């Protein structure tokens, strides 16, 4: 039972303390624990080259034998972290809120996950077995929910690429200067509970795992996220009255509460099958573009027109 704590906060700041408190609880429950602070690693931003998905696709289609990994593999510490990350059973992810969102350091880290897609790494044997990871998410901010509006939701959105099931989340509010959290025993007690919840979830058979956080948290009955929007038409025509911005569940309003719409879990990003269907959308978009580029010379001409336009930069 291995639990990895990740902090994207200042060294010895509020996030470090919150994550360490959760890890202490996990350790008390018998877990082996590891703690990293992302400031200690060289993590380059994703270049957006799409080599990972192109190469993974080629392996899947038998066009190449192996997947060499991210093009930045030997240029920074990401591989070193992910090798441990993907062998853990549980995660405690803590991140300070900057401008309502998780800090850019964390997002830079998490947006490199695509090159380490668990389902694919399993398929090609780079990871031996699915650790069926569970996670607890902690956002840490100087203010209340009103100034942390996207924090937990955006952290949640970084979990599905590695098929990590979020079983608990907590927003640490009104802690500003480093160490401020120690005068808030309510916060420390709650993140301690999160550490216990993570071990409880690890010990529960995968199919029986459930949400262990506050039952009334959020609006989505599926993931407990708090961001719901009025549904739009999807690429294949499907439409729900409302959708959860985090997990993608289709929702409807009943007696003032959001409940699952009919077939509402068919786009649940946490389900590998639903995520696989999203890959169909990506491929369909790519094929359509390549086809039109081949058939319609004006497409390439227009792209070149924009390439040639030069404005003064900074
Ligand atoms: C650039 C910046 C933006 C911030 N924006 C917010 C914010 O929008 N909402 C909030 O609640 N706190 C905000 N804060 C406060 C931090 O989240 C807070 O100080 C937190 O305790 C930092 O965590 P740490 O001690 O682990 O580094 C911001 C801090 C910085 C440096």
> Domain ranges in the chain?
2-215
pLDDT score recorded for residue 177? 98
Are residues 133 and 159 in contact, defined by beta-carbon separation less than 8 angstroms? no
CA-angle at 162, arms to 93 and 32, nearest 5°: 50
Instruction: Report the distance separating Cα 198 and Cα 220, nearest Å.
Output: 21
Q: Are 116 and 65 in contact (CB under 8 A)?
A: no
CA distances to 41, 65, 81, 127 from 84, in Å? 14, 25, 6, 11
Task: Give the pair of three-digit tokens for residue 145.
Answer: 């929910």
pTM of this structure: 0.96
The residues lining ligand 1, judged by C-beta closer than 6 Å to any ligand atom, are 9-10, 13-15, 96-100, 140-143, 147-148, 175-176, 178
pLDDT < 70 regions, the chain:
none
Each residue's pLDDT tens digit, 259-279: 999 999 999 998 888 888 888
What is the pLDDT, as a whole number, of residue 65? 87
How high is the pLDDT of residue 124? 76
Domain 2-215 has CATH 3.40.50.360: yes
Q: Counting atoms of ligand 1 from 1, which one is nearest the CA of 174? A: 11
Q: Pick the residue whose CA is nearest to atom 5 on ligand 1.
A: 98
pLDDT, tens digit, 9 for 90 and up, residues 87-141: 999 999 999 999 999 999 999 999 999 999 888 888 777 788 889 999 999 999 9
CB-based contact 222:167 (threshold 8 Å): no
Provide the pLDDT for residue 236: 93
pLDDT, residue 222, reads 96
pLDDT of residue 90: 98
Kindly give the distance from the C-alpha atom of residue 248 to the centroid of ligand 1, in angstroms, as a whole number.
28
At CA 124, angle to CA 1 and CA 86, rounded to 5? 25
Report how far ligand 1's centroid is from the alpha carbon of 36 (Å): 19
pLDDT of amino acid 172: 98
Per-residue model confidence (pLDDT) at position 283: 84
DSSP 8-state symbol, 213: S
């Amino acid at each position: 039972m291995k639990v990895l704590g990740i902090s994207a906060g200042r060294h010895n700041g509020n996030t470090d303390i919150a994550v360490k408190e959760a890890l202490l609880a996990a350790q008390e429950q018998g877990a082996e624990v590891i703690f990293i602070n992302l400031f200690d690693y060289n993590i380059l931003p994703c270049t957006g080259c799409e080599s990972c998905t192109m190469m993974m696709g080629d392996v899947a289609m038998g066009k190449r034998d192996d997947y060499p990994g991210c093009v930045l593999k030997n240029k920074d510490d990401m591989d070193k972290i992910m090798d441990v990350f993907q062998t853990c059973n549980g995660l405690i992810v803590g991140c300070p809120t900057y401008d309502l969102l998780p800090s850019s350091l964390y997002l830079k880290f998490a947006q490199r996950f695509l090159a380490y897609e668990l389902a694919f790494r399993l398929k090609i044997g780079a990871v031996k077995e699915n650790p069926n990871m569970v996670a607890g998410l902690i956002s840490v901010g100087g203010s209340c929910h009103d100034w942390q509006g996207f924090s937990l939701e955006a952290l949640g959105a970084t979990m599905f690429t590695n098929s990590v099931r979020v079983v608990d989340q907590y927003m640490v509010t009104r802690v500003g200067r480093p160490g401020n959290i120690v005068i808030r025993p309510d916060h420390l007690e709650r993140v301690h509970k999160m550490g216990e919840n993570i071990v409880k979830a690890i010990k529960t058979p995968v199919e029986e795992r459930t949400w262990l956080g506050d039952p009334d948290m959020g609006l989505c009955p599926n993931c407990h996220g708090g961001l719901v929007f009025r549904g739009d038409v999807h690429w294949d025509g499907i439409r729900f009255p409302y959708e959860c911005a985090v997990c993608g569940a289709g929702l409807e309003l009943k007696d003032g509460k959001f409940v699952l719409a009919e077939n509402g879990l068919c786009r649940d990003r946490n389900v590998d099958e639903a995520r696989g269907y999203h890959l169909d959308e990506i491929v369909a978009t790519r094929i359509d573009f390549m086809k039109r580029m081949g058939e319609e010379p004006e497409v390439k001409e227009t792209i070149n027109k924009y390439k040639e336009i030069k404005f003064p930069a900074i």
